[in-house]
Structure 1
Amino acid sequence: MASHVDPLVVGRVVGDVVDLFVPTTAMSVRFGTRDLTNGCEIKPSVTAAAPAVQIAGRANALFTLVMTDPDAPSPSEPTMREWLHWLVVNIPGGKDPSQGEVVVPYMGPKPPVGIHRYVLVLFQQKARVAAPAPDAEAARGRFSTRAFAERHDLGLPVAAMYFNAQKEPANRRRHY
């Protein structure tokens, strides 16, 4: 009998970005018409605009969404781990990140070399988070999802997913 292995463990998201956790909230992520699943590959040209993220949960619950690249600048030498691509706090349950407070604006994936993992981590807040001043979290390189969660008393994630992307040849970009 085959046992289920969590794709977040297989993809080393658990370990590199977050500690082992039990997902308790549904989160869906879509770029255009493409629904993402853990470990899928998507072209960077499709990810220029922020994804549509739907978060389940009661309207009175608040969430924080973090998106990072743990493979920056290169998967073999991730000296900038984690590169912060997006940070939104105080997102109401049942809503999307546009209803929250953007701390760091969305930056689409632009992997310079190799296949990079892009990780979206969702935390349920215990209380409203005072959004840090724009400069406080603006340093995108060497961001730590764990340290941010600890600093803001977020606990373990309630959902996470990741996708892969690699540099596209300039003359072969396709939108699918």
Structure 2
Amino acid sequence: MANANPRSVDPLVVGKVIGDVLDMFVPVVEFTVDYGSKKIANGVEITPSSAAQKPSVHINGSPASPNLYTLIMVDPDAPSPSEPTFREWLHWVVTDIPEGSDASKGREVAEYIGPSPPTGIHRYVFALFRQREAMQVAQKPPESRGNFRTRQFAAANGLGLPVAALYFNSQKQSATNKKR
């Protein structure tokens, strides 16, 4: 992974994550996302087969901290361009993740679905939100994965702005490349 400043939102602005998915925010937490030996850095390319299994997500900080987090993973490029309003495809929601821990210690609200871009390059965004209390976020999955809005979900659950975000790019693999 490049030694990018984790506190910088510049790659998120350039990649249009801020604007399309998230509002401008100040990163205050560091977290890592790994698919096996592949570390996610903003804008890196990951094949769908490399991301088929849920990643390891670790939130840096003190395990003694009372802070809890919600992680949301979406594909903002899934909707048809003919859609009158912008929507995202939901890939994963985990709530009540303790600081200094990983997502496996939280509550999986929407089970992980790996990337499967039908055409073109798709962005897959991980947005991290700090919760004010345990069980703050509804513990039932959203009604539709294909009609999801990160901003709306955060507002409905009192999460405010994200505290960190990362994204990667992925595109459809040919059948011969899937075996690699």
TM-score of the superposed pair, with normalisation by structure 2: 0.88
Partner Cα separation in structure 1 for residue 82 and residue 44 of structure 2: 21
- Is 2:149 the partner of 1:144? yes
- Is 2:40 the partner of 1:41? no
Q: Which runs of 4+ in 1 moved over 6 A?
A: none
**Counterpart amino acid of 2:115?**
P
**Counterpart amino acid of 1:23?**
P
> Residue 22 of structure 1 aligns with which residue?
26
| Partner SS for 1:173 | helix
Q: Which runs of 5+ in 2 are unaligned?
A: 1-7
**Aligned-pair distance for 1:56?**
1.4
Which of the residues 100, 109, 114 maps onto 1:108?
114
For each residue in 1:145-170, what CA deviation from the matched residue of structure 2 results, as whole angstroms up to 9, or x when unmatched?
11111111111101000000000001
Asked if structure 2 preserves the Cα contact closer than 8 Å seen for 1:70 and 1:78, the reply is no
CA RMSD of aligned residues (A): 1.8
How many residues align? The count is 169
The 1:133–1:37 alpha-carbon spacing in structure 2 relative to 1, beyond 3 Å, is: closer
Asked if structure 2 preserves the Cα contact closer than 8 Å seen for 1:72 and 1:78, the reply is no
| Partner SS for 1:81 | coil
The 5 Å alignment of 1:55-134 reads: 55-59=59-63, 60-73=66-79, 77=81, 79=83, 81-134=87-140
Asked if structure 2 preserves the Cα contact closer than 8 Å seen for 1:88 and 1:97, the reply is yes
Q: Which runs of 5+ in 1 are unaligned?
A: none
TM-score of the superposed pair, with normalisation by structure 1: 0.89
The 1:133–1:5 alpha-carbon spacing in structure 2 relative to 1, beyond 3 Å, is: closer
